[in-house]
Amino acid sequence: MAGFLSWVSRPFRSRSPAPGPAAVQVSPQPPAQQGAQPDAGNPDDYDKLDRHLYCWLLDTTPSHLEKTSPHTAAIVATLRQNIRDGKLDELPRQPLTLPRVLRALSDPNGDRNELASIILDDPALTDQLLQIANSPFFRPGEQEIESVDQAIFVLGLNGIRNVVSAAVMRPMLSARYSREAVFSQRVWRWGLTCARAAELIAREQHQDTSAAFMVGLLPALACLTLHREVHRLMTRYTEDRKATPAMVRAVLETLMWPLTQQLAIEWNLPVRYRSLLEAAMVARATQTHTPLADGLVLGSREVLRHAHQRNLPEENLVALLALDQPGFARVREALSLTLKRGG
């Protein structure tokens, strides 16, 4: 059964992204191969890592992941159709400041004063940014960051780009109800770790680091959206809206990636951002590696290891990534330090 990391071994055919709302085609068809290369990793390791990740995210045991429900097929089919039709009730709307933020983040010659002006024009974004910048995950030292100008000075343009991306996404990944508190907290931590891993790998490969970080957060948002949709739909079948871990797993492993694509289209993300998502989606099917695809693998393993959960042996992990040993060591060290700071 495919999941977060092994879904990419099941090829999808998606429509070429176009501006404005559009449906996502999720029927399986093999995409054209680009830059195919041998994959030395064991495919079973993706499945193992997936199972460990599901157990942690859903706060459950392996046996509960396998329990079936008579409602699962209907829930998956309904959500699949709603994604195609663009009718998800819980689909997050595009943040109002996102277009200006993305333009500023995408400009390699961007001026820090312009970026500060965009942030300060939105008081809610300003407050969120300062909270994120002062979180252990991002703050480089003990000194509290008290202003946007100080954040830009302390973190630098590259650092502040990631903080802005996280600040835009954080409100949409906050828990609304007690039943989703653990899941939302863990999926946010997973998303941040995978985004950071994608950024670090992109840096090793001389690719766009800020774009890798931004798109690395989208799968986490898709997961929380689907989690909410499952519980909402369960009112048709049970009064307590209780979705089993196995049911949530079935929805996430089937629909997380199509919904991630749908978010990119609905939000009218720049083509290069959508291209990064598309390349990651087909990475396993085409036997290629991308910073995002490898970042999801490395980030998942490291967040599990830091949480003292079952994961993968290091030698198995290295075989799944397109990093040489020195590069892997640098990325692992930086990612481990980030997780330790984050608690």
106 inside domain: no
328 inside domain: yes
Best CA proximity match to 193, nearest among 311, 316, 301: 301
**Six-digit token string for 97:** 């400041």
Alpha helices in the chain (DSSP H): 43-57, 62-65, 72-85, 98-106, 112-120, 123-133, 148-169, 181-204, 209-233, 245-266, 271-281, 291-306, 314-319, 325-342
183 inside domain: yes
Query: What is the DSSP secondary structure assignment for residue 141, as one 8-state letter?
Result: S
Q: Name the stretches of the chain with pLDDT < 70.
A: 1-40, 108, 110, 238-241, 343
Per-residue pLDDT reduced to its tens digit, 280-321: 988 877 888 999 999 999 999 999 999 999 999 999 999 999
Rounded to two decimals, the pTM is 0.86
96 inside domain: no
The per-residue DSSP string of 37-101 comes to ----S-HHHHHHHHHHHHHHHTT--HHHHT---TTHHHHHHHHHHHHHHT--TTPPPPPTTHHHH
* Phi, psi (deg, nearest 5) at residue 53: -65, -45
**Where on the phi/psi map is residue 334: left (φ > 0), alpha (ψ -120 to 50), or beta?**
alpha
pLDDT reported for residue 69: 84
22 inside domain: no
Distance CA 269, CA 211 (A): 11
128 inside domain: no
CATH of the domain at 192: 1.10.3210
Length of the chain: 343
Distance CA 293, CA 32 (A): 17
Residues in contact with 64: Cβ distance below 8 Å, sequence separation at least 6, in sequence order = 244, 245, 246
163 inside domain: no
76 inside domain: yes
The alpha carbon torsion through 283, 287, 288, 290 (nearest 10 deg) reads 40
**Six-digit token string for 189:** 């931590």
* Phi, psi (deg, nearest 5) at residue 246: -65, -35
Largest CA distance in the chain: 56
- Domain encompassing residue 86: 39-91+175-342
Distance CA 161, CA 105 (A): 6
Tally of domains in the chain:
1
